Amino acid sequence: MTKHKTIGEISLLGGHPALDFVNTVDSRGARWGPEFLTSYSDLVSWARRLDVIDDEEQRTLLSLATNSPSDAERELIRARELRETLHRILLTETSNEAVRVRDLELLNEFTRQAQERRSLAIVDDTIEWRHSPARHLDSVTIRVGWLAANLLTSRRERRPIRVCEGPNCGWLFLDHSRNGHRRWCSDRTCGSHARVRKFRAVRAE
């Protein structure tokens, strides 16, 4: 049995933090899971890896979680709810299905809160939007919601979203391939498994 990966070890193949957030479930194919966001500290570790928060914010959020474990647990459940909502919304880009109104409403809640916690700042002589420092347990999910909204509204300026065709995968990624027909989240894992399956099928004929 192979050792189950942790949130600090999983591959970041989405090409955008919102997609990597959706990819915090090992498989959405023939089986679902395992789950990588198993605790609030997993959520914080993930956010630090993706530069959604900085070191100081990571320390602040972890100490908030230590002081209010039940609130942190609730926030973890909310993060997973946002993740599954984003998954459904992002999948509509690859299918003919419409976005569910309820899903868009939930994402809107996060973006409204994000907007309230943003302000203009001068950075290298230019004015930029900045998040106020992460001082609340919901800071990570709110920032992820904001990032996802930006991804969804930038469709014309970016590459299309694809779903990995690996039977035990289903991860999402931005397709940066030259021909625009990338099929696997990773050529080394899902892609090579598919080649092995094809090779065996040919030999069995």
CB of 205 to Zn ion, least distance (A): 26
**Cβ density class 68-94: b for 16+ within 10 Å, e for less:** eeeebeebbebbbebbebbbebbbebe
Which CA distances in Å does 63 have to 56, 60, 79, 136, 137? 11, 5, 18, 11, 10
Candidates 44, 52, 142, 190; binder of Zn ion (CB under 5 A) is 190
Collapsing DSSP states into helix, strand and coil, what is residue 111?
A: helix
Q: How far is the CB of 161 from Zn ion (least distance, A)?
A: 14
How many amino acids of this chain bind Zn ion (CB under 5 A)? 6
Considering only residues 45 to 84 of the shown chain, the ones binding Zn ion according to CB under 5 A are none
Q: How far is the CB of 168 from Zn ion (least distance, A)?
A: 8
Q: Where are the alpha helices (DSSP H) in the chain?
A: 17-22, 40-49, 55-67, 69-91, 101-116, 139-152, 192-204
Q: Is 163 in the site for Zn ion (CB under 5 A)?
A: no
Choice between 36 and 171, CB closer to Zn ion: 171
Cβ distance to Zn ion smaller for residue 147 or 164: 164
Strand partners, 123: 126
CA distance 173 to 44: 22
Contact window for Zn ion (CB under 5 A) among 70-78, 87-95, 144-152, 160-168: 160-168
161 part of the interface to Zn ion, by CB under 5 A: no
Which secondary-structure segment (H or E) carries 176?
none
CB 117 within 8 A of CB 55: no
Q: Which is nearer to Zn ion, 79 or 164 (CB)?
A: 164
- Nearest distance, CB of residue 118 and Zn ion, angstroms: 34
Q: CB-wise, 39 or 186, nearer to Zn ion?
A: 186
**Interface residue with Zn ion, options 14, 15, 17, 166 (CB under 5 A):** 166
Of 88, 99, 106, nearest to 170 by C-alpha is 88
Minimum CB–partner distance for residue 175 and Zn ion (Å): 13
Residue 169 sits in the site that holds Zn ion (CB under 5 A): yes
Rule CB under 5 A: which residues touch Zn ion? Answer: 164, 166, 169, 171, 185, 190
